[in-house]
Structure 1
Amino acid sequence: MHKKELHTAGKDLEKAKKVLVLLHGRGATTKDILGLESHLPLEDFALIAPQATNQTWYPYSFLAPINENEPWLSSALELLRDIIEDLLEKGFDSRDIYLLGFSQGACLCLEFAARNARRYGGIAAFTGGLIGETLDPENYSGDFETTPIFIGTGDPDSHVPVGRVKRSAEILNNMNADVSVKIYENRPHTISENELELTGELIFNQK
């Protein structure tokens, strides 16, 4: 299962006002996702990026039945839960904790947040949606208390159908999140400059 291998950047936790937890995509490393630091307004942030075992959070598509991605999916969610609980114990308010992920990491980011809804500082999901063959809103509970969430995706995307993005946004909105979705026509499976600009405005420049 996933080990608690954390890589950091930005400010030291003891000096930071806010924390951003970043989740890399399938086949990637923490170095890849931490590279976004120079593209976002994160001057006051400590950055924490866990490394997935074998560079993969769960083995199959996020659209596969949940049980097919077990026990790796539960292990990944538990790792993320441990990170958040550690930050809360260190005295950070949940409003000062932010989540960001790309592709498989974006799916994990949204799934964790929906299963553990509260007022986060903000959530950025670059090409992702809630996990499972089908989505049942009854599997998610809690109140995001208007947490800003940005989801960007391409249409079409080779891994993430636009329909799943829209359905995920609907569920999150119904949980009192403030969701913004941006769909880019014929954009490759990547993170665009415009997505980073919008994320800076909608998520990280929140007061």
Structure 2
Amino acid sequence: MDTPVTTWGPETQQAHTAVIAIHGRGQSPAFMRDQAERLHSTGVRFYCPSAFGQTWYPKQFLEPLADNEPHLSHALDAVDSLARAVEADGFPPERIVLWGFSQGACLISHLVLTRPASYGGLALLTGGFVGPEMLPAPEGRPLQGTSVVMRSIEHDPWVPTGRVKETAKALSAAGADVDLLIAPGNEHIITDEAMSAVDRLLRSIRPSDTRGPDRPAAT
């Protein structure tokens, strides 16, 4: 995989959950690591890919899909490949959480609705699927059992509330258990309440048979 990945947290043998953290436009893994410091969950290993030029795709996310290609497809491939690499590290899908903010949340939303796969949870903070048209939910209920935390700001300057709600509707139709909250305000921020919700998500995924140094990783 050509996309650089920054990791932090306990080593794989000591971690019970993996988080793939996707930063937003103009950000880097350092931003997501700073946000992770606001979490209180333990035993979580983070994997954070770095977008070339600090952006996953060039245009705004509501522009026609073709205007963001081939960058959008390359970014989706990068996250998809990283998820498979995290599995190879010993984390089964049910112990993997995808967490994104802003453009990162948009990328994850688009990924799971166009390339549905099993994950332990999703944390989508101020984002929605990409493109100007309503994205149909995938056939069947491929996200059944997936817990999703969605948070946004009512008058966010970059992400319309309507798109966040459309994304929540599509995820629910795909079988996901969506926890959506739109906070008042007009700033492009991650609130303390949003981070508390991510903490709850991570605690809900923690298995009863956490791996320790004497427990080999899954193969």
Q: 8 Å contact 1:41–1:205 — kept in the other structure?
A: no
1:196 Cα shift? Answer: 0.8
Task: After TM superposition, give the deviation of residue 43 of structure 1 in Å.
Answer: 1.2
Kept in 1, the 8 Å contact 2:24–2:100? The answer is yes
TM-score, structure 2 length as denominator? Answer: 0.88
Residues 134-179 of structure 1, C-alpha deviation per residue, up to 9 Å, x if partnerless?
Answer: 12316x3451122111111111111111111111100100000001
Unpaired stretches in structure 1, ≥5 consecutive residues:
none
Corresponding position: 1:52 with 2:51: yes
Q: Which runs of 5+ in 2 are unaligned?
A: 206-219
8 Å contact from structure 2 (residues 26, 55) kept in 1: yes
CA distance in structure 1 between the aligned counterparts of 2:175 and 2:198, rounded to whole angstroms: 19
| TM-score for both structures, normalised by structure 1 | 0.93
Return the letter of the residue paired with 1:31.
A
1:31 shift after superposition: 0.4
- Greater RCO (Cα-Cα under 8 Å, separation 6 or more): 2
Counterpart residue type for residue 167 of structure 1: E
Which position in structure 1 is the counterpart of 2:16?
17
Residues of 2 paired with 1:154 and 1:75: CA distance? 29
Give the aligned CA root-mean-square deviation in angstroms.
1.6
**CA shift for structure 1 position 194:** 1.1
1:206 aligns to what? Answer: 204
Displacement after TM superposition at 1:32 (Å): 0.5
Question: Which residue is equivalent to 1:101?
Answer: 100
Q: Which residue of 2 aligns with 1:91?
A: 90
| Separation (CA, whole Å) in 1 of partners of 2:2 and 2:71 | 11
In structure 1, give the amino acid aligned to 2:199: G
Post-superposition offset of 1:84: 0.9
Structure number with greater Rg is: 2
Q: Which amino acid aligns with 2:117?
A: R
Match of 1:167 in 2: 166
Structure 2: how far apart are the matches of 1:194 and 1:87? 28
Equivalent residue for 2:146? 147
- Amino acid of the structure 1 residue aligned with 2:92: D
CA deviations 1:54-85 (Å, max 9, x no partner) are 00000011101111000100010000111111
- Asked whether the equivalents of residues 5 and 50 of structure 1 are also in contact (C-alpha less than 8 Å), the reply is yes
Q: Which moved more, 1:72-81 or 1:85-94?
A: 85-94
Distance in 1 separating the partners of 2:114 and 2:90: 22
Amino acid at match of 1:22: A
- Identity rate of aligned residues, in percent? 30
